[in-house]
Structure 1
Amino acid sequence: MIDFKWRALCAVSALLLISGCGAGTKSSPGAVGEPEFGGSITLMTNKDPRILDPGVMSNQGPQDGALGNALYGQLVASDATTGEITPELAESLTSQDGSTWTLTLRDGLVFSDGSPFGADAVAFGWDRMKDPTLGALDGGHAAGIVSTTVLSPTTLRIDLVAPTMQFGRTVAATALNWIASPAALRAGPRAFDNAPIGAGPFVLQRWVRGGALDLVKNPNYFDAPKPYLDTLRIVPTADQNQRFASLQSGAAQVIFEPTRLNEQRARDAGMTPIVVEHSGGIIYALNNARGPFSDVRARKAVSAAIDLEQFNLIRSGVPDDPDTLFVDSSPFYDPDKKIHVHDPVLAQKLLDELAAEGKPLSFSITAYSTPESQRGSQALQAQLLRFDNIEVTVESMDFAGLAARLNSGDYDMSITGMNGTDPEPMFYQRLFSQSRGNPFKVVDPQLDEALAQGRMSTDVDERRRAYGTVQDRLIELTPFILYTRPGSALLSAPTVGGVSFTGLDSPSVAGLWVVAGD
């Protein structure tokens, strides 16, 4: 009945968050046949969680995707390739005008401790994410919600700050998709980290900070007979070489890869990675609100000075050179709209011009403390220091520290991301002038108008025109430097089935299974 209702909703897509319905996430070409029950899998990712509060976690693979999906499940799932939305804990999410939305949950949902999971829990989770003191990484998305109103135990009304027909994409791709027990959250962060209560397919058994998280099957999970596994171990390992070696040795059965290096190694070893390619990508943000990058000439000088192919060859071993905002498979791709052109002559001309005005360029690059990020930032520094009238330093920080600096605007040039199969929700969140999640501090009325048109329309041609304007304004303003596409990949042993992505690039874990005896 639920499936039929969702298909019926697909027939009236003008009322929905989505441009299409159906297929779910792309599956692994590993183990084939009917899923088997039992067993355990070790999944390696690249980041140790700072906290298990879903309001503070990040629903992206490079952050907390697999863990969040395991503990909290999803209100809706989305195909990481097509963006199509399918129901999970939610039965439907609809709107007539893009300003007011109705979320309807499935009947009979419970948290892992057996307590009821209802619309009041969703309202509590979303409302608390708006509180700046929480430090929610996706707080800017939550701030787009004016109010939530519980209409019934399973029905929630959502009123938005600005209309959008793409709100479902926002839920699917952010921590809004993860709901925890309000009672467990009220007990405080220490108690919650020891016993997080969600409605996902797994329950935390043990967490050694800086080490593995051991999870066991949730007997109260709504989508029986999933999960197929008895236990799931998530092991954070920053070193990409160690992750790949663990897969080869059998110490891990699935590894998440946020870079392209191990993807190619896997192909060379005869594996078939599950890959998600997004428009946008990983970028160096330039702080438009303060010197030196408040001057567009400084932004254009740095952009023109960088040889991305050589930079990425040193950084990751792959000579990536993205020069357009959208990948060629996107309906918004335009090969003539180049957001990056390597032009050392122009770079030096602009640097000399700034110096002649008494403003020689001097700034700091804030990078992650991971080996790859350090290699990349040092390679970038070396390229830039070949020019006259420029000074560049590099500082390193952990994930949480760097995110805090970006959010506060206390940086010159720093790493962040802006990517997705569709521009929504990330492009609006990152570029709209009034958005809390705009790390570039860019303010441009033409850009704002185009972003608003793109998120409100459901017509592909109208959206294509809107995002054509977005690209034109980015070429003119140069608020960031896109340096690589986030070619996130899941690599798995041939004995593992059900490997897939959801959201932006979060591993979906409920459907994982392993061949008996392995």
Structure 2
Amino acid sequence: MSQLKAFRKSFWIGTVALLLLVVVAGCSDSKNNSESNKNAQQSTNQGANQSATPEEPAAGGTFVYGRPASVTSLDLHNQITSNNAFAIDKVFESLVAFDSKGEIVDWLAKSHSISEDGLTYTFVLRDGLKFSNGTEVTAEDAVFSLQRHLKVGGPLAIAAKVDTTVAKDKQTFVITLKEPYTPFISELSNFSNGIIPNNFGGVSEEEFFKKPVGTGPFVVEQWDAAGDLTFTKNPNYWQEGKPYIDKLVYKLIEDDSQAINQLKAGEVNAIESLALQNADEIKKGPDTTVVTNGSWVTEQLFFNTLDKNFSDVHVRRALALALDREGLTKALTFGYAQTANSLLPTTIPYNANETIKALNFDLDAAKAELAKSAFPNGFNTKLLVASGNSTRAQEAQIIQAAGKSIGINIEIESIELATFRERFFAYDFAAMLNSGQADSPEANSIIAFQTDPEGFSKSYWTHYTNDEVTKLLYEGQKTPDGKEREATYTKLLQTLADEVPYIPLYYPDILKGVGSSVDGLVVLPNGSVRFEEVRIGK
């Protein structure tokens, strides 16, 4: 615990920086979900929402939402980071979605069913469904959307082996797989599987994504790719009467402190990125409060396994043993997080957080482990961190102290977010602080993104490669939910805990700072927010 004491009076920081959205999910127990179809308008009321609903919702007004990064693209098949994803999901919607409890519900589809062999998925669209321009949504639009995604691939490519996509009639859409793929139904709830008009509505791709047409609650009105984005309500939204607000503004506020000050001053109605250390202050403020939810996020220390030092498993294990994760969590998260042993958050099935044998804090064992490495006397290295996020800065200092305790001298490189992304996308780092996040409550979502050396991210830009892990990854994708699948993931997660290509630090709650006059804000466990039922009081 001594490595933490020197930093308790230092500056603090929030946990949200870059959240990489990872796909895939699988609720294979929903073999026939047409009977369990839930009213989607009711589902938005479940879970983490700000209650106190007035008898007559106050309609109209503009809701201003402070965000730390601008929206740079609305192409749902080519994007992955939260700055874009959480704008895309306001314009485009998928056949199925997840609610604030992480449960899969029918969305644009009024029902869906899965064949007993797990190969055929049938969706029936809602009656009278329209795009924001007033044109009818048909099964042909769903066919085009899925085929475009399959063609593009992109960072959230569909991993299922799709055989055919067929429109049986105007409302019925059928997908046939070549082989079972357990996560598929949850993968379809991802923002990247939103429905777009057939043939882009007759315009070019470039033109379409500058002024996109979707089924979501909002339509893009004004957009500065380096600044703010203004949405207006979709007059043809399928949830009658919603959204209640007339406009939604995504306001760029890159600094945590400025965001807090603007929330207190009433200049914004809510802020997306609330540092954990500020949560109680905002919660107890006279004009502010906090809306929260459990998350699908794991805060992590990542190693580039191509780096000469961190390619050595003994080095990675030594640093894991030198780091007091429980102490770090208590010091930095103010009760809004849980120490992580497993890669998977506890809100996702098969996380095995209670059974995994993690490399917990043991300084003597850390020194012994480093002695087994090719660098028994230590070495100099660098830790890459995005600036503007004080929690990450504090994490970096604690990790720096842990390294020093066993002879690893860590220089902290703090750079602005855009350059940070460019650096790790190019594998230009030795170690970095970041977080992994699922888009749906399915083990494969994070596991695939962080363990597949041939995938888009090459094991989350660590290039970690283990043939046995890769084999278990594919087994987990094909195995139906149950004890066998649980055993597969437990074995995989234990291997990750032993070889530590990344060190899971903690599972943070999702926190949003909100003005007290705001009602009906729904926080999803992937960090996004639903604004359909938001109202602004006086």
- Provide the TM-score with structure 2 as the length reference: 0.79
* Counterpart position of 2:273: 257
CA gap 1:364/1:495 in 2 versus in 1, 3 angstroms: same
Secondary structure of the structure 2 residue equivalent to 1:297: helix
Question: Are 1:491 and 2:513 counterparts?
Answer: yes
Match of 1:85 among 95, 104, 117: 104
Identity %: 22
Match of 1:33, as an amino acid? P
* Counterpart position of 2:536: 514
* Counterpart position of 1:286: 303
CA gap 1:128/1:467 in 2 versus in 1, 3 angstroms: same
**Do the aligned partners of 2:400 and 2:409 also contact (CA within 8 Å) in 1?**
no
1:246 Cα deviation from its structure 2 partner = 2.2
Question: Are 1:297 and 2:314 counterparts?
Answer: yes
Q: Deviations over 1:267-322 (max 9, x none)?
A: 33376633222366121222335533332112112222223356567766779661
Question: Are 1:350 and 2:369 counterparts?
Answer: yes
Greater Cα offset, 485-494 or 150-159: 150-159
Distance 1:282 1:192 in 2: 35
Question: Are 1:480 and 2:502 counterparts?
Answer: yes
Question: Are 1:207 and 2:223 counterparts?
Answer: yes
**Do the aligned partners of 1:18 and 1:166 also contact (CA within 8 Å) in 2?**
no
Greater Cα offset, 88-97 or 297-306: 88-97
How many matched pairs? 498
* Counterpart position of 2:235: 219
Secondary structure of the structure 1 residue equivalent to 2:189: helix
Distance 1:398 1:182 in 2: 38
**Do the aligned partners of 2:121 and 2:176 also contact (CA within 8 Å) in 1?**
yes
Q: Deviations over 1:73-106 (max 9, x none)?
A: 343221233x212222223343223344334433
* Counterpart position of 1:49: 71
CA gap 1:513/1:379 in 2 versus in 1, 3 angstroms: same
Match of 1:197 among 213, 217, 229: 213
Distance 2:85 2:269 in 1: 17
Distance 1:397 1:179 in 2: 37
> How big is the alpha-carbon RMSD for the aligned residues of Structure 1 and Structure 2?
3.8
**Do the aligned partners of 1:172 and 1:503 also contact (CA within 8 Å) in 2?**
no
Distance 2:364 2:234 in 1: 61
**Do the aligned partners of 2:437 and 2:446 also contact (CA within 8 Å) in 1?**
yes
Instruction: Report matched runs for 1:219-368 at 5 Å.
Output: 219-257=235-273, 259-269=275-285, 273-278=290-295, 281-289=298-306, 291-308=308-325, 311=328, 322-325=339-342, 332=350, 333-355=352-374, 361-368=379-386
Secondary structure of the structure 1 residue equivalent to 2:167: strand
Gaps of 5+ in 1: 1-9
Secondary structure of the structure 1 residue equivalent to 2:240: coil
CA gap 1:411/1:101 in 2 versus in 1, 3 angstroms: farther
CA gap 1:315/1:372 in 2 versus in 1, 3 angstroms: farther
- Provide the TM-score with structure 1 as the length reference: 0.81
Question: Are 1:371 and 2:371 counterparts?
Answer: no
Match of 2:193, as an amino acid? L
Distance 1:356 1:491 in 2: 45
Secondary structure of the structure 1 residue equivalent to 2:455: coil
* Counterpart position of 1:165: 182
Gaps of 5+ in 2: 1-26
Match of 1:240, as an amino acid? D
CA gap 1:312/1:503 in 2 versus in 1, 3 angstroms: closer
1:217 Cα deviation from its structure 2 partner = 1.4
1:165 Cα deviation from its structure 2 partner = 2.8
Question: Are 1:94 and 2:116 counterparts?
Answer: no
**Do the aligned partners of 2:28 and 2:183 also contact (CA within 8 Å) in 1?**
no
Q: Deviations over 1:97-120 (max 9, x none)?
A: 334433443344332223443344
* Counterpart position of 1:504: 526
* Counterpart position of 1:7: none
1:177 Cα deviation from its structure 2 partner = 3.6
